[in-house]
Structure 1
Amino acid sequence: MTETLLRLSGNVRGVLWMTAAMASGVCVDVCAKLVSHDVPTAQILAMRALTTVPVFLIIVMFLGTRLVRTKRPMAHVARGLLWYGSLFFVFFALRQMSIAEVNAYLFIEALLTVLLAVVILGEKLTARKLIATLLGLVGVWVMCAPRMQGFGVPLGVGAALIGAFCFSAQTLFAKVLTRTETNFSMLFWPQIIAVVIWVPIAIITWHPASLADWLYSSGAGFFAMMTNYMVLRAVRVADASVVSPAAYTALPFSVAMDLIFFDMLPMPVIFIGAGIVVLAVMLLDYKGGAAPVEVDEAASIGEDDPSPKPVSVKT
């Protein structure tokens, strides 16, 4: 089976890795949504961090601290705050809406990243970027319109959009960090920061959690690690512009999980709005047939060389 996969082109392997990552990412949402509504959202993040950090520490014990040494500690702190801040808003949104609806709103993240890159990094705002962004905003409005009461935006929708904004901001930090940091350190430090920040916050409103709640929180952490690992694999063997369209498989996976676990279906207009946003992002990603450079898939997770352009995921 492994030999068969290795015979495939880097592009095909990258798309397969990214598709698997999206399936795993939706499992994170399922686990988060299954946690009892009596457990505060901040506590879910704290429980997830507490069950995830020991795994990372064990890996460090075996592989050495070289993997987590950093030249930019404050950038890791900022990215960790944004990463888990975005998860807070996404998990909150999941309590208000279906998984498919939340993921549809999160598709706007790529467009927000472009706008932030223009404002913060000074990247050029081309006509194509501007058209894609405006088209994406139209898609978001299509999705929001049925839920809006006058000019009011429901809490769940607002939380999902804030979560997308935070994800896009941490993506910019990821792009900067990949120049000097290992992939493993970029996964490790946000978990440590989450324990330092979210555990004290969660203690203030701590609610007794059942064994099932702890298992679901642990499951969210496990699937998040698997998702990040598979995304890193995807961008190692293919260019981000090749694998990024596979990220949209998150929507059909989300619909399937909503039906299986929660007997829910999103409003049809969600698919229309999501389709407009996807079209906008694909317009943004279009490279005119440029060929990607393949990278050795067997590279270590702690390799010091910076990986190709990262693809952000909400885990």
Structure 2
Amino acid sequence: MTRTLARLSGNLRGVLWMTAAMASGVCVDVCAKLVAAEIPTAQILAMRAILTVVVFVVIVMCIGTRHVRTRRPMAHIARGVLWYGSLFCVFFALRQMSISEVNAYLFIEALLTVMLAVVFFGEKLTGRKIAATLLGLVGVWVMCVPKMNGFGVPLGIAAALVGAFCFSAQTLFAKIMVRTETNFSMLFWPQLIAVVIWLPVAIIMWKPAGFADWAFSGGAGFFAMSTNYMVLRAVRVADASVISPAAYTALPFSIAMDLIFFDMLPMPIVFVGAGLVVFAVTLLDFKGGVKPAIADADDAKSLTAKAPSAGDCTADARV
């Protein structure tokens, strides 16, 4: 199997890795949605973080601490807050909507990242970026209309959009931090920070959790780390502009999981709005993609700290 994959072109392998990552990312949503409804969202995050940290500590004991040493503790704290803030919003939204609906709203993340890069990194604001952003907002509005009460936006939709914004911000942090931080440290520290933040909150509202709830929370963590790994493999062997469209396979995977596990289907208008958002992202200029064929994780330090293009922003907010 490995030899067969090695014979494929780098771009094709990247597309396959990204497609697998999206399938894994949707499994995160399934696990989060299967946790008992009475378990608070903060408790789900705390449970997931505790289980993930235990696994990471075991790994660190085996490989040593050099992979988690950091020169930027404050950046890790900020990114951890944004990362798990995004997860809180997404998990909350999953309590209100189907997986496919939540993922459709999360597609706006790439456009938000581009606009944040303009504001914080001084990237040029082109007519194409403005048009893409406006079209993406129209797509979100189309999806929102059937659920709006006058001008009020339901909490689930608002949470999904705030989650997309938080993930966009942490993506920009990640693009800067890869210059000095290992990929392992960038996965490890947010989990530890999440325990510090969410465990005290969860204790206040803690509800009895059964074995299944812990198993699903652990499953969410496992699939999240798998998604991270596969996205990393994808961007190392293929151009970002090539693998970016594969990120939208999250929608059909989501629809399949909604049918299999929850007997749900999104409203048809969701496909129209999601299509507009996807088309908006394709309007963006995909220059400055990640260089392919980087040898190993520590070589990520050689990546440029340039703010990401839409094609770089294919990682899933759920991870």
Q: Please report the TM-score for the alignment, with normalisation by the length of structure 2.
A: 0.94
Partners in 2 of 1:277 and 1:265 — Cα distance?
A: 19
Equivalence for 1:53: 53
Structure 1 position 81 matched with structure 2 position 66: no
CA shift for structure 1 position 293: 4.4
Partners in 1 of 2:103 and 2:181 — Cα distance?
A: 29
> In structure 2, do the counterparts of structure 1 residues 118 and 292 end up closer, same or farther at CA, with 3 Å as the change threshold?
closer
Name the SS for the 1:165 alignment partner: helix
CA shift for structure 1 position 266: 0.2
RMSD across aligned C-alpha pairs, in angstroms?
A: 1.5
Equivalence for 1:300: 296
Name the SS for the 1:146 alignment partner: helix
> In structure 2, do the counterparts of structure 1 residues 182 and 47 end up closer, same or farther at CA, with 3 Å as the change threshold?
same
Structure 1 position 261 matched with structure 2 position 261: yes
Structure 2 spans left out of the alignment, 5+ residues? none
Partners in 2 of 1:292 and 1:160 — Cα distance?
A: 27
Name the SS for the 1:175 alignment partner: helix
Structure 1 spans left out of the alignment, 5+ residues? none
Judge conservation of contact 1:182–1:306 (CA < 8 Å) in 2.
no
Equivalence for 1:313: 316
Deviations 1:150-171 (A, max 9, x none): 0000111011011011011111
Deviations 1:216-275 (A, max 9, x none): 000000000100000010111112222111100000000000000000000000000000
Partners in 1 of 2:286 and 2:279 — Cα distance?
A: 10
Partners in 2 of 1:151 and 1:126 — Cα distance?
A: 30
Aligned pair count? Answer: 311
Name the SS for the 1:76 alignment partner: helix
CA shift for structure 1 position 114: 1.1
> In structure 2, do the counterparts of structure 1 residues 307 and 260 end up closer, same or farther at CA, with 3 Å as the change threshold?
farther
Equivalence for 1:2: 2
Decide which moves more: 120-129 or 74-83: 120-129
- Paired residues for 1:180-259 under 5 Å: 180-259=180-259
Over the matched positions of the two proteins, sequence identity in percent amounts to 75
Q: Please report the TM-score for the alignment, with normalisation by the length of structure 1.
A: 0.95
**4+ residue stretches of structure 1 with deviation over 4 A?**
290-293, 307-310
Deviations 1:118-151 (A, max 9, x none): 1111111111110100010010000001110100
Partners in 2 of 1:176 and 1:295 — Cα distance?
A: 20
The one-letter amino acid paired with 1:294 is P
Partners in 2 of 1:304 and 1:231 — Cα distance?
A: 13
